A and B are shown apart, each in its own frame.
Chain A
Amino acid sequence: MNATLRHVRYVATENPVTLGAFLLFSFFVLLALLGPWIAPYDALASNTEAALKPPSAAHWFGTDSLGRDILSRIVVAARLDFGIAVSAVAASFAIGSALGALAGFFGGWADRIIGRVADTIMAFPLFVLAMGIVAALGNTVANIVLATAIINLPFYIRVARAEVNVRRNAGYVEAARLAGNSDLRVLALHVFPNVLPPMMVQISLNMGWAILNAAGLSFIGLGVRPPQAEWGIMVAEGATYIISGEWWVALFPGAVLMLAVFTFNLLGDGLRDIMDPRMRT
């Protein structure tokens, strides 16, 4: 345990970008966990007298058309946006990597069927597919998670399949078989852990996409509904005011959204370095 912590510290200090990504990530996690308690105002309380006020000492990020504090809404929305992204990515990772690993390890008809499923999903424009799923199943958070998980599935299937496939005949896999392990045990215990470091990069990149996707769905009116605080809706609501000069309504939630995606993209490499013991020198 101690060695792991020391390794995390080593990876973080070795690469300042990774350190920055970890700090930003912890910041977002704190926002998601503590949001409602640290937000300066009630995210849903409107105050028409203070509507569309530019950033000031009282409202750092200004207020929106109903006079709600934008900073508070951004802080509170972190939990929802992160929740959607994390659960969607967790679902597609669990299912996609298991399917991909089976396809890559056993080949044959399993590979063909799973590969075609992935191809079929990929054949759709993914965002349109997500729109279709949410539109068909109904406008709920659970359906946004489901849609996001489904459109991300092929990426996990493909990465897991490719990474498992190149290791299928590795010496240690052969050795594990010769030592009397069953195929599934070899796959789960010896091949799959070796595939995790490259999967980690995929997970992290995917988190960024998942957040963008959830925000995008809300932006076009599918998914989370007003008055719920959510970054995508906030950008959508603010978009109409950009022309009339109230830039802060859309800018701040958009910037936070961008920062979150950026954080996840940087985090991937750092996570891989932590997962891979060969980096521990």
Chain B
Amino acid sequence: MGDGGVEAAYIPPLLEVMDLSLEFRTRSGTVHALQGINLSVERGETVGIVGESGSGKSVLSFAILRILDASARVTSGTVSFAGMDMLAASEHALREVRGREISMIFQNPRTALNPIRRVGKQIEDVLGTHTSTLRADMKQRAIEALAGVRIPDPERRYHAYPFELSGGQCQRVMIALALACSPQLLIADEPTTGLDVTTQAAIMTLASGLARERRMATILITHDLALASEYCDRIVVMHAGHVVETAPTAELFRHPRHPYTARLIASTPGPTQGIDTLSSIPGNLPDLRRGDLPSCRFHARCDRAKDDCVSRPLPSLPVRCLYPL
């Protein structure tokens, strides 16, 4: 972006998803996995996407990178990243973006690293794919990347195989891999699932610290509301392939407006709360293969639902509810 423009031009967000709908055509029917998704991420911003399993969080992140199963069809909408139309871009152009401009880390860091390649070499692979680092500098750059994620004794760890590292260290290596090419956007898909609590905190602090240092935008996908509240500027709540609410973190927790958000917050255990007083959300996600999905996909589980929730079109964000709290 050029600085010192004369007119106070509208600066588009780094990532803008507009009205994205996506379905999977499977043998047992068409799964309407995402519908009318709107999401924008500004430069340097940390956005949390929360929602229960199956709400479409991960599908959305893969759709942004356009890494989709052969059965997936984008039926409407646009994804633009830094001015580039991701849904229309060539496979070659997408490969340039993946790993260089947008990186991703995910759960189970152990399985996300190639088991028979030394971790240092794996970092060099990424550098070799996306940068013009000289062969002679590769090793030094890889060791620096390991040192950057606070891995003790990086010269020695450079030669380690993934199975020789702990889960937390593997995730640090994943972060080093993801950040090796200084991307503008990091998508962290449940990055701390499968790690113990102290490691979780260390990994999140590391990732958010690095993001701030580099002015890198982050999308944190999680079902852990407490985690999202701690590290995100803004939270997007997803349910059954819809974005139901978006709000700045503090506001969302102080005053949730969508009934689903409210129930989700109420069902997060606190330190002073016994298990018997913890509320839960009744019912399950609707079957997304149904042809006659109701206009609000939460209505069957919602205690505020009225008859017209099934048919009347929903208002647009920030709260997609006809009868918000």
Interface on A for B, CB 8 Å cutoff? 170-172, 174-182, 189-190, 193-194, 197, 276-278, 280
Contact of B103 among A171, A172, A177, A178 (CB under 8 A): A178
Q: Could you tell me if A175 and B112 are in contact, using CB atoms closer than 8 angstroms?
A: yes
Report A-chain residues with C-beta under 8 Å of the C-beta of B126: 179
Report A-chain residues with C-beta under 8 Å of the C-beta of B278: none
Bound Cα distance A85, B95 (Å) = 42
Report A-chain residues with C-beta under 8 Å of the C-beta of B67: 174, 177-178
Bound Cα distance A29, B115 (Å) = 33
Q: Could you tell me if A278 and B161 are in contact, using CB atoms closer than 8 angstroms?
A: yes
> Is B48 in contact with chain A by the CB < 8 A criterion?
no
Q: Could you tell me if A175 and B115 are in contact, using CB atoms closer than 8 angstroms?
A: no
Q: Could you tell me if A171 and B117 are in contact, using CB atoms closer than 8 angstroms?
A: no
Q: Could you tell me if A174 and B112 are in contact, using CB atoms closer than 8 angstroms?
A: yes
Counting chain B CB atoms within 10 Å of each CB, the highest count among A172, A181, A182, A278 belongs to: A172
Q: Could you tell me if A175 and B113 are in contact, using CB atoms closer than 8 angstroms?
A: yes
Report A-chain residues with C-beta under 8 Å of the C-beta of B177: 175, 179
Query: Secondary structure of the A side of the interface?
Result: helix
> Is B130 in contact with chain A by the CB < 8 A criterion?
yes
Given contacts A179-B177, A277-B161, contact A172 B115 (CB under 8 A): yes
> Is B257 in contact with chain A by the CB < 8 A criterion?
no
Q: Could you tell me if B129 and A180 are in contact, using CB atoms closer than 8 angstroms?
A: yes
Q: Could you tell me if B125 and A189 are in contact, using CB atoms closer than 8 angstroms?
A: yes
Q: Could you tell me if B116 and A278 are in contact, using CB atoms closer than 8 angstroms?
A: yes
In the complex formed, the residue of A with least CB distance to B117 is A193
Report B-chain residues with C-beta under 8 Å of the C-beta of A174: 67, 106, 112
Q: Could you tell me if A176 and B114 are in contact, using CB atoms closer than 8 angstroms?
A: yes
Bound Cα distance A189, B117 (Å) = 10
Residues B119-134 near A (CB distance < 8 A): 125-126, 129-130
Report B-chain residues with C-beta under 8 Å of the C-beta of A182: 91, 95
- Looking at the assembled complex, report how far the CB atom of B325 sits from the nearest CB atom of chain A, in whole angstroms: 38
Residues B83-131 near A (CB distance < 8 A): 91, 94-100, 103-104, 106, 108, 110-117, 125-126, 129-130
Interface on B for A, CB 8 Å cutoff? 65, 67, 91, 94-100, 103-104, 106, 108, 110-117, 125-126, 129-130, 161, 163, 174, 177
Q: Could you tell me if A180 and B98 are in contact, using CB atoms closer than 8 angstroms?
A: yes
Report A-chain residues with C-beta under 8 Å of the C-beta of B130: 179-180
Q: Could you tell me if B115 and A278 are in contact, using CB atoms closer than 8 angstroms?
A: yes
Bound Cα distance A181, B104 (Å) = 13
Report B-chain residues with C-beta under 8 Å of the C-beta of A197: 116
Q: Which 7 A-B pairs have the closest CB atoms?
A: A179-B99, A171-B111, A180-B99, A180-B98, A171-B112, A172-B114, A180-B95
Bound Cα distance A190, B126 (Å) = 12
In the complex formed, the residue of A with least CB distance to B112 is A171
Report B-chain residues with C-beta under 8 Å of the C-beta of A172: 111-115
Report A-chain residues with C-beta under 8 Å of the C-beta of B99: 178-181
Report B-chain residues with C-beta under 8 Å of the C-beta of A278: 115-116, 161, 163
Report A-chain residues with C-beta under 8 Å of the C-beta of B104: 175, 178
In the complex formed, the residue of B with least CB distance to A196 is B116
Counting chain A CB atoms within 10 Å of each CB, the highest count among B91, B97, B106, B114 belongs to: B114
Report B-chain residues with C-beta under 8 Å of the C-beta of A193: 114, 116-117
Report B-chain residues with C-beta under 8 Å of the C-beta of A194: 114-116
Bound Cα distance A61, B142 (Å) = 61
Bound Cα distance A182, B125 (Å) = 13
In the complex formed, the residue of A with least CB distance to B118 is A277
Contact of A180 among B100, B117, B163 (CB under 8 A): B100
In the complex formed, the residue of A with least CB distance to B61 is A178
Counting chain B CB atoms within 10 Å of each CB, the highest count among A176, A179, A182 belongs to: A179
Report B-chain residues with C-beta under 8 Å of the C-beta of A176: 114, 125
- Looking at the assembled complex, report how far the CB atom of A180 sits from the nearest CB atom of chain B, in whole angstroms: 4
Given contacts A178-B104, A179-B126, contact A276 B114 (CB under 8 A): no
- Looking at the assembled complex, report how far the CB atom of A191 sits from the nearest CB atom of chain B, in whole angstroms: 9
Report B-chain residues with C-beta under 8 Å of the C-beta of A280: 161
Report A-chain residues with C-beta under 8 Å of the C-beta of B91: 182
- Looking at the assembled complex, report how far the CB atom of B280 sits from the nearest CB atom of chain A, in whole angstroms: 31
Given contacts A193-B117, A278-B161, contact A180 B112 (CB under 8 A): no
- Looking at the assembled complex, report how far the CB atom of A150 sits from the nearest CB atom of chain B, in whole angstroms: 31
Report B-chain residues with C-beta under 8 Å of the C-beta of A277: 115-116, 161
- Looking at the assembled complex, report how far the CB atom of B265 sits from the nearest CB atom of chain A, in whole angstroms: 31
Report B-chain residues with C-beta under 8 Å of the C-beta of A189: 125
Report A-chain residues with C-beta under 8 Å of the C-beta of B100: 180
Bound Cα distance A180, B177 (Å) = 12
Report A-chain residues with C-beta under 8 Å of the C-beta of B112: 171-172, 174-175
Report A-chain residues with C-beta under 8 Å of the C-beta of B117: 190, 193
- Looking at the assembled complex, report how far the CB atom of B192 sits from the nearest CB atom of chain A, in whole angstroms: 15
Bound Cα distance A189, B94 (Å) = 19
List, sorted by A's number, 21 A–B pairs whose CB atoms are closer than 8 Å.
Answer: A170-B111, A171-B108, A171-B111, A172-B112, A174-B112, A175-B104, A176-B114, A177-B67, A178-B65, A179-B99, A179-B103, A180-B95, A180-B97, A180-B98, A180-B99, A180-B129, A181-B95, A194-B114, A277-B116, A277-B161, A278-B163
Bound Cα distance A176, B114 (Å) = 9
Report B-chain residues with C-beta under 8 Å of the C-beta of A180: 94-100, 129-130
In the complex formed, the residue of A with least CB distance to B104 is A178
- Looking at the assembled complex, report how far the CB atom of B99 sits from the nearest CB atom of chain A, in whole angstroms: 3
- Looking at the assembled complex, report how far the CB atom of A157 sits from the nearest CB atom of chain B, in whole angstroms: 22
- Looking at the assembled complex, report how far the CB atom of A212 sits from the nearest CB atom of chain B, in whole angstroms: 32
Report B-chain residues with C-beta under 8 Å of the C-beta of A177: 67, 98
Known: A170-B111, A179-B177. 4 other contacts (CB 8 A): A174-B67, A180-B96, A182-B95, A193-B114
